[in-house]
Amino acid sequence: MNFLDSLLLAVKSVWSSKTRAILTILGVMIGPAALVGMTSLFYSFANTVSQDLLASFPQNVITVDSPIQAYQLNDISHNPHVSEVLPYYQLEGYVRNSSGDLVQVQVLAVNLNEMEHVLPSVEINSSPSAFPVIGGYFTTHSSILNFGQQSYLYLTKGQDIYVILSNFQENFTSRLVVTGCVEKEVLVNLPGVNTGLIVPLSVGERLSPGEYSGALVVVSNSTFVKEVANTIKSYHLSILLPQQNPFADLSSFSTTYGLLFSGAAFIVAFFSILSTMYTSVVERTHDIGILMSLGFKRRDIMMSFAAEGVVLGVIGAVVGVVLGIGGVLAYFTYASSSFQLVYGTGIHGSIDISAVYLALISTVIIALVASIAPAYKASRLEPARAVRSIY
């Protein structure tokens, strides 16, 4: 009896006990559905965060996050691997809100045009102005509570504001107009972009001439980032290297995550097939005796029962994978608009193909292992006693 004959016999056996087969398939499909669903759910979230992170901060931009003198900035800008240097000031100030309270705010003084060139992910909606004042994303899109002062800062485009900035030697006090706003939250280590204000570089130069709070150094090619970073460190400056992808090994990590949550379901699948096959052996003991009397070998009997368990596993795996994929895509189709509204970015369902393969292979292996003991029991029955048995 060859494998194809065993497989056809197994399919007929499954079809003859449709009710029991359906219940078994329902128990089996939970495992692959959970694995594919949970893994792809995490994969979709992580993939979106990873893409936003890498898009927000280019991989060829080094952040100098310590005070830097003008001559140091000039030396760094002459490095053959540096294409551009963007200095900035981090300032602390106060803005009078609509209730008349002075609210502490972080202010970024920077050349706005150069910043948009260096960080294209910072989307700014601004009216033409000789003195642009840009509200951060949260500052212009929601109320930011300051629990220490029990007050808030919420700005709108075109609003008149009273700003107070100062350092140890100089003050800057002025009534300004908010000319624009940051349209999307971005993952950058710069104050004012997400919360606070962005003002022209000249404001910082007036308060702290000759010394900047930091700078963004654009390297011509990302392969020279470490070399340029070492040059900057030689000036005893603190730097932040481009943020690396925290989910570089996303597929294996998400698959492991899915296995942890679907492990119990695979145990259920194992015992579902095990109990079904033992029941099948008991019910078909008489038939087994007849087959042996007709010349079927013990190996043939064992192979046919093992094939029956594998058939149940394959059907359950396919149904589970389809349900897992459909569930993920349906969820993100429904939820994407909500994420767009709340977080400013949509999340689209992504299927981790490695999880699909793993779910199919794992379920088939589990089905085969669960079928071995019942199949072996069936092959060890004595033909004469089996023929006389009545279920």
**Cβ 139 vs Cβ 197: under 8 Å:** yes
pLDDT band at residue 18 using 50, 70 and 90 as cut-offs: confident
Domain segments of the chain as ranges: 3-54+248-388, 61-240
Q: Supply the pLDDT for residue 311.
A: 92
pLDDT surpassing 80 at residue 359 = yes
**Cβ 244 vs Cβ 187: under 8 Å:** no
Q: Supply the pLDDT for residue 234.
A: 92
Predicted TM-score (pTM) above 0.85:
no
pLDDT band at residue 53 using 50, 70 and 90 as cut-offs: low
Q: Supply the pLDDT for residue 299.
A: 87
Q: Supply the pLDDT for residue 83.
A: 93
Residue predicted with more confidence, 336 or 326:
326
CA-based R_g, the chain, Å: 33
pLDDT band at residue 337 using 50, 70 and 90 as cut-offs: low
pLDDT surpassing 50 at residue 145 = no
Across the range 186-208, mean pLDDT stands at 82
pLDDT surpassing 60 at residue 342 = no
The segment with the largest mean pLDDT, out of 11-15, 203-207, 253-257, is: 203-207
**Cβ 276 vs Cβ 27: under 8 Å:** no
Across the range 181-209, mean pLDDT stands at 82
Q: What is the mean pLDDT of the chain?
A: 81
3-state secondary structure of 373: helix
Q: Degrees (nearest 5) of the Cα angle 288, 293, 297?
A: 70
Question: What separation in angstroms does the CA of 5 have from each of 1, 300, 307, 367?
Answer: 6, 9, 10, 19
Cα gap 356→258, rounded to integer Å: 11
Write the pLDDT tens digit of every residue in 211-267: 899 999 999 988 899 999 999 999 999 988 876 555 555 555 656 666 676 778 888
Residue predicted with more confidence, 325 or 128:
325
Which bin fits 275, alpha (ψ -120 to 50), beta or left (φ > 0)?
Answer: alpha
Write the pLDDT tens digit of every residue in 146-191: 444 444 578 888 888 888 887 656 777 888 888 988 887 776 677 7
pLDDT band at residue 352 using 50, 70 and 90 as cut-offs: confident
